[in-house]
């Protein structure tokens, strides 16, 4: 099972998105990337996809400072057939310049 959470950050410029994911169950893979809307823009790997083993702390945290319109995509991949519970929360913090 693959779960994708994405934020359309078109209206969140000059902000920081902070998130926390918690998986109840066994191991999953987790990653995050930002794709700008601008033509010719480069995808930014915010968190390289990595396997989170069952014995590791099940909380995954991250943040990303938004400087241009685009999409922030959080990906959680459950390679096992067992069901797991995923809890997540996020917050947008305005950055003053």
CA distance linking residue 69 with residue 67, whole number of Å? 7
Rounded to 5 degrees, φ, ψ at 81 are -85, -10
User: What's residue 77's pLDDT?
Assistant: 83
**How would you list the strands of the sheet with 15-24, edge to edge?**
59-66, 15-24, 85-94
User: What's residue 61's pLDDT?
Assistant: 87
- pLDDT < 50 stretches in the chain: none
User: What's residue 37's pLDDT?
Assistant: 85
Domain definitions of the chain by residue range: 2-80
User: What's residue 26's pLDDT?
Assistant: 67
Question: pTM of the prediction?
Answer: 0.75
Residue-wise pLDDT for 67-92, tens only, equals: 888 888 888 887 776 777 778 888 88
User: What's residue 11's pLDDT?
Assistant: 56
């Amino acid at each position: 099972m693959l779960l994708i959470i994405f934020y359309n950050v078109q209206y969140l410029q000059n902000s920081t998105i902070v998130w926390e994911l918690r998986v109840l169950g066994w191991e999953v893979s987790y990653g995050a990337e930002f794709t700008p809307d601008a033509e010719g823009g480069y995808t930014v790997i915010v968190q390289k996809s990595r396997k989170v083993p069952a014995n590791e702390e099940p909380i995954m945290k991250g943040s990303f400072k938004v400087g241009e319109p685009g999409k922030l995509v959080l990906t959680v991949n459950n390679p096992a057939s067992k069901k797991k519970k995923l809890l997540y929360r996020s917050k947008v913090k305005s950055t003053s310049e």
